Structure formats: structure tokens, C-alpha cells
Amino acid sequence: MSLELESLRLPYLTNVEVGQLMVRHFTDLNTIDPLLRIDVPYNAYITDMTAKMMNYQKGLLQAQKSAETELIALADAVRDKAVGAFGSALKLYTKSDDSDEVEACRCISILFGPFKKLNTLNYEAETLAIDKLVVDLQSPTYSGYVTTLQMERYVNRMNDANNEFRPLFGGRMVDSALTESFDMKVLRTELLRKYSDFVQYVLSMAKATNLPLFLTSLDMLNTARKYYNDQLAQPTKPKEEVPVG
């Protein structure tokens, strides 16, 4: 085997790809016979990188949570708007000169009264409240009034918006680690600096000692690095340049 280190343009890997690369390395290196892993500096590198990797993964999770939170807020705004549109459309019929429309408006307005300020409720309570409102509007008691006012599309709009919101909120992450604050740029820089030191150490020791631990480790590191290097070489791959310090 060639005692050289596969080149890899680390600054061009996305944060997620850096995490995937590290997981691949740790998975591969953990398959090495423990009886071979007796080099003190080698084990110190692995321990330190493991600790840094744990924080890095928490940082990635927090970034994902931030994106998820934004999606939830946007979806909530959509359903708030749908409820508001229903209320505005209903209000127009208070000026109707058609007795059937006036009566339908009066009955639905009584039902809708407690639901006018749904946007002040927490996410879960609002979801349940919209569900109840839609069910009531589609019941035999009120569906005729809805038809009279031709407001089915407003009811469907509220229902659809609520159904689109539900899986986003229901799938939210509740990991307590997310209460911590992580600076991905710092975490990335520290992790990759330690990683660079580690691979250079492995390379140097492989050349100096020719021991199985370092030869095997170098081969595993190169295999993973080559994979990501090939990925970067693909012209259709979007690039995310992130300084590593």
C-alpha cells in the first residue's frame, strides 16, 4: 500500500458532510483489533476527537432544530391566515339583505365566537381548536349554513392548513441538548484541526514504524477521504465553502 495521505478539500465539505465523514472514520477505526490499539498518543487523539464530535453532532442537531422551528412558525402563520380569512368572509354576510344568509351568518358567528383568537393559543391547543371548529362546521348542524354562505372553501382551507402544520409540530425534536448553545464555526474549526493533527500523526507513524495499527488506520482514513473527494469532484454537487481556520 502507498504510505501517502489521500488529499481532501475539507473547506468544501458541508457541515453535515463533515459529520458524516467523522462518523465513517470512527466506525471504521473501531473495527481495528483492540489489541493493536495500544499507542498512547493514538488513543488520546481518538478520545479527544470523540468528545469534539459529540459536541459537533449536537451543534448540527441544533441547526436542524432552528430550521425546523422556522418551518413550524411559517406553517402556523398560514393557518392563522386561513382562520382570519374565514372570519373576514363571515363578517361580509352581516350586511346581507338575504334572510337565509343573515340567519346562517348569525348561527355560524355564534359558533365561531370562541375561536376568533386562535392565534393567541399555543401550537397544540390551536391545532385541537381548529380541528373542533372544522368538525363542527362540517356537522349536520352547521354544514347547511356553510353551504348557504358558500364558505366551504374557507373551511377546507383551515382544515388543509392545520393538516399541513400537524406533522411539522408533531415531529419536532425534544432533545434536551438543544437547550445548549453551539457555534458551528468554532466547533467545526476545532474538530477539523484535531482531525488534521490525527491523520498526520497516523501518516508519520505508518512511515516510521510500519506497525499494523497505523497501516490499517491510514488505509481506512484514505478510503473514506477518497469517497468524499470523489463526491466533491462531481460537477453537479453544490458547494458550501466554510473556512476551517
Q: What's the whole-number mean pLDDT along residues 110-123?
A: 88
Q: Cell for 19?
A: 459529520
Return the residue matching grid coordinates 488529499. 7
139: part of which helix (H) or strand (E)?
A: none
| Secondary structure of residue 93 in the 3-state scheme | helix
Cβ–Cβ under 8 Å, residues 192 and 10 = yes
Whether pTM > 0.85 for this model: the answer is no
pLDDT at 1: 61
Tens digit of each residue's pLDDT (9 = 90 or more) over 143-174: 999 999 999 999 999 999 999 998 887 765 44
CA 73 to chain centre: 14
Cβ–Cβ under 8 Å, residues 211 and 160 = no
